[in-house]
Amino acid sequence: MEKEIREILLEIIELLEIAGEHGWASNLKRLYADNYSSRWDWLRKIKSLFGGMGSFNDLVLVRNGVICIDENNKLSQLREQLYESMVQSFVE
């Protein structure tokens, strides 16, 4: 499941970079490259992306003042996949 999570993270990073959302892309790159945490700590870090105000769930991609509908739809799909994979990893 870790491989699947890393693949999803890469897809999200690519989408964020294309959309010019470099702050979140940078945060996710660090998470992707995290080889020092235990598996559980790494999963908890992913889980923490989804909680509270200003969280990854709140991110809306905008370019030149216009909401990027297709990119936001793709981001929503990838966020859901990431969350479901993370939850599944806790269960395994």
Q: What is the pLDDT of residue 12?
A: 97
pLDDT at position 81, please? 97
**Which CA distances in Å does 90 have to 24, 25, 41, 56?**
24, 24, 11, 20
Supply the pLDDT for residue 26: 96
At residue 21, φ and ψ (nearest 5 deg) are -95, 70
Cα within 13 Å of Cα(11), Cβ side:
16
pLDDT digits (tens, 9 = 90+) for 3-34: 899 999 999 999 999 999 999 999 999 999 98
* pLDDT 10s digits, 23-80: 999 999 999 998 767 888 999 999 999 988 889 999 999 988 999 999 999 999 999 9
For residue 35, the model assigns a pLDDT of 74
d(CA 24, CA 27): 5
